Amino acid sequence: MWPPDFFLFPRLKRPMKGKQFETTEGIQAACTAALKAIPENAFYDTFNAWKSRWQRCIDAEGAYFESF
């Protein structure tokens, strides 16, 4: 349920898949470019959806449910 797990990390990893970096600076530059490529509204939308999910968990009062 944590947004970095399902939103941010895949978007950072995808553009770097299969690449090898010579330096730490190269990794930093690639990460920075990947972050800058994510539209700002995508962050807002993700965290708003996250708030909806945790509110559903609160409303369920610990009961199990299948999907969001």
Domain ranges of the chain: 3-60
Contacts of 7 (CB under 8 A, 6+ apart): 42, 46
Q: For residue 64, what is the DSSP state?
A: -
The pLDDT tens digits for 3-58 are 667 788 888 889 889 999 999 999 999 999 999 999 999 988 888 888 888 888 88
Cα separation of 53 and 68, whole Å?
7
Whether the Cβ atoms of residue 56 and residue 68 lie closer than 8 Å to each other = yes
Cα separation of 16 and 11, whole Å?
9
pTM score, whole prediction: 0.62
Cα separation of 59 and 53, whole Å?
10
